[in-house]
Chain A
Amino acid sequence: MSELDEFKATYFEECSELLSDLEEEFTVIEEGDRSEERLNAVFRAIHSIKGGAGAFGFNQLVEFAHSFETLLDFVRDGRVELNDEVVTLCIRSIDLVADFVGAAQDGEELASDFGEEELARFKMLSGEDDAESMEDFDIEFTPVMVNVGDDASTAETSPDDSLAVEEGDSFEQAPMETGARFWKIEFTPHYALYERANDPLLLFRELNTLGQVEIVAKLINLPDLSGFEPFGVYCAWEISVHGDEITKESLEEVFEFVEGDCDLAISHVMADADADTNLVGFSETAETPDQTSAPAEDASAALVPDLALAASAEDAQEEEEADISFADLAASIEPTPAPVSAPVAEVKEPQEKTKKPEKNSGKAPAVQSIRVDLDKVDRVVNMVGELVITQSMLNQQMDDRLKAQYQELVRGVEVLAQTTRGLQDAVMAIRAQPVKSVFSRMPRLVRELAKKTDKKIRLEMVGEHTEIDKTIIEQLSDPLTHMIRNSADHGIETPEKRLAAGKPEQGIICLSAEQAGGNIIIAVEDDGAGINRERVLNLARERGVVGPDQQLSDEQIDELVFAPGFSTADGISDISGRGVGMDVVISNIKKIGGSVHVRSAPGKGTRMTLRLPLTLAVLDVMLVEVGDGPYVIPLSSIVETIQCERADFGFAPSGRRVLQIRGEYVQVIDLVTRFEMTTKVPEDERFVVLCEGEGSMKIALIVDEIIGQQQVVIKSLEENFQRIAGIAGGTILGDGHVALIVDVPGLKVAPEQKTAA
């Protein structure tokens, strides 16, 4: 079964890709692009999701996706107008499909009425007929495992499904009518037909609405197993249509869409002639009715060879499938004309085929890619990291004397430096992914928020192709969700208020990503009311976040929204307002070495920016000396450095030293005392490193010496040891020694614990 699990995993991966494609397509469609190409793309995506779901027996998903697909099909051929209402329904339905997929993935069962409303609307829009025939549709998705003689396939094959096929498929029930004239259609599809996502079954069903239809599959072209092409087209059909009012034109109309992709011959013939052809076509299987009355097991055993004979050389997989359906057929239903049941199995087969070419054609222009274990990539990243360090070590070893003496060597080292840089960038690019994978979850969020808050909100996305390290992307989802929630709930006003303020009814949230130097800037901007600074300040005073006499600049007040436990919402809604949102943003972003800023213009909107490092593997740091050990401080958290001599220190009433800088008082932490070391460096010659800690609160670290800036690879201390308060990890310097990375936000917390203890 593990193999099956693997297939499932692949299916779910595909689903998430397809869903994000769908989301994208509909965004364009919503904007007014109603081209056929787009409709085909969404149709294909839904169809692929449905197909896989059927194979794994996710019935709820199949049912929903099928109705959805039917509607899309009707839209595609113009029977249903693609108006805004339908588009909204479709977009809502994509969310539902995502829920179904999610539920299937987690092995959960959704409430049976989940999505019922949408389902009903599908049926209403696409008409009664189709709703009825939906049951029939299950047949194509009788699970087919390409697993010869294995238990997995038999276990997955639900006998009930195949039974439903025999009983339910309407065109099989057509009794033969003799003596009258009827239409005979010879229909041989080409590969192109399947490639364009056409489905013979739909054509047959269409024919069935015109009159009584009898369909016979011809497998004369089926090659030996050795010559069997999985994508090959081996099946042709001979269709007889009985009905008084049928004209050649009406028949041709059915095949209008596949014109040119198949061989089609339509003729008006007498019943007698038909009897002859039928006899020829089914001479081998004609005897089966007698055998079906035998006990079930014998019957199936006897039937299988018969079928195999009829189909010349069938795939083993198909044999098995047929085995089951025939066994059940024999066991549970009255003997029916066997020729009818034989083609049924064949109808499925091309159906299976259609899916594959479809997918191929859908993805054909895509860049070729391979899936690689992230671990493997990380190993390369680590090694390149080591290489970068070795290279910088080499550079450090080159003193002026050496440089003068060995010019060739210098040139070599320079080239090495360049190549190493290039290699590093290339490796990082492997890990990099477009932020689209996170952004694509946001439109749904905005839709749901808009619905819940009764606001009109449009989400605009810019730069979703900006690439950023995968690990960072994974950490982005929560912060972005919180930020967008915040914008939707607190930022954007209700339509009435907006109109009153002279703004358009619909609010806009703009989510953008861009690369700026070694950073990625992700911004969430809304055109809402902006931050109510007065209220924020009052609330902050009330809750003791800000002291009663403390004067804050506008910017500082804005930043208060990130303080833990802070919420400006008048009431707690189920979207936001519990005050756990924005500080989560801060802590998540800090964790990955980024920073958060917020700027707001009253009445005009708010802009929240995330500044993120391009990669996590290599960190830009400042190398400092504290006591007798080398330490590094991430550059991203450093605001500035000052010589102690020039720094303006003061003392708080508690006796703690504070640094006064530009009217701000900042907590001072002497790393030597904090890390329980001693130093011989005189106080005035030491340095202050002003850092931004938790929630943009600054702290001043005092170090003995500033050595310089460099790039380091982060190593874990916990791997072989344990976490140490105030230390974020270790790194290996050019000389092979270990330097410790200062955990700036962590420093602030620890000493309080110490004094308490």
Chain B
Amino acid sequence: MDALEARDDSDQHDIELGNSMQLIAFMIGEQVYGVEITTVREIRAWNGATPLPNTQDYVRGVINLRGTIVPIFDLRARFGDGLTNTTKNHVVVVMSVGEKWVGVLVDAVSDILTISKKDVHKVPEGDSMDSELLNGIVTHDNKMVGLIDLDAIVSVVKTET
């Protein structure tokens, strides 16, 4: 239900901006992913996190964001590619998903992209992980950008416990 609502929101947003939307693009390895710019609250360098016991491995832990505790998801691990070997150059993108704030650990933030909504393609059927975690795929400068479904990232955690 949450997921549906969030999609409605982004649809409305598109109407407001005509037919385009802006993304923050970030890299995991060579692959580019994007989230809608309006959901991003803050981008900060990786400075460690307090690990949480008894959670999925892609939950890297929690950080202190000006007095609130925010969980960090390792996006690489979330896509099943093993834990990120973190350095000071890694980046946490803090986003708001519904009422909650979450951080996503990525390799680097690359760009701000303006894309046309009609260029967003459906995720090809087949790999359940892809269709589960992506809202769609968009092509930009001949590169494939996966649109992250934030609700999926957060809600999957919920159903597993």
Residues of A within 8 A of B (CB): 382, 386, 627-630, 674-677, 715-717, 719-727, 730, 732, 736-740, 750
Contacts and interface: CB of A to CB of B under 8 A. Distances in A.
Given A717-B62, A732-B67, A722 B54 contact: no
B118 interface: no
30 contacts: A628-B51, A629-B61, A675-B53, A676-B53, A716-B69, A717-B52, A717-B71, A719-B68, A720-B68, A720-B71, A720-B100, A721-B52, A721-B69, A721-B71, A722-B158, A722-B161, A725-B54, A727-B52, A727-B53, A730-B50, A730-B62, A730-B69, A736-B64, A737-B64, A738-B62, A738-B63, A738-B64, A739-B50, A740-B50, A750-B54
Nearest to A385: B67
A732 B71 contact: no
A719 B64 CA distance: 13
A628 to B, nearest CB: 7
B51 to A, nearest CB: 5
A726 B67 CA distance: 22
A724 B50 contact: no
Contacts, number: 78
A750 B161 CA distance: 13
Interface in B100-125: 100-102
Interface in B46-84: 48-55, 61-64, 67-71
A214 to B, nearest CB: 69
Given A717-B52, A726-B53, 8 more contacts: A628-B51, A629-B61, A675-B54, A720-B70, A724-B54, A727-B52, A732-B64, A737-B64
B100 A724 contact: no
Name the residue among B49, B53, B63, B101 with the largest chain A CB count within 10 angstroms: B53
B102 A720 contact: yes
B144 to A, nearest CB: 30
B53 A738 contact: no
DSSP class of A's interface residues: helix, strand, loop or mixed? loop
A740 B54 CA distance: 13
Contact of B67 (A386, A627, A629, A737): A386
Contact of A737 (B50, B53, B70, B100): B50
A689 to B, nearest CB: 16
Contacts of B50: 629-630, 730, 737-740
Contacts of B102: 720-721
Contacts of B69: 715-717, 719-721, 730, 732, 738
A730 B158 CA distance: 19
A309 B45 CA distance: 79
A675 B158 CA distance: 19
Interface in B19-66: 48-55, 61-64
Given A732-B67, A738-B62, A724 B51 contact: no
A740 B67 contact: no
B105 to A, nearest CB: 15
A579 B61 CA distance: 41
B3 interface: no
B55 A724 contact: yes
Contacts of A629: 50-51, 53, 61
Contacts of B48: 737
Contacts of B51: 627-629, 677
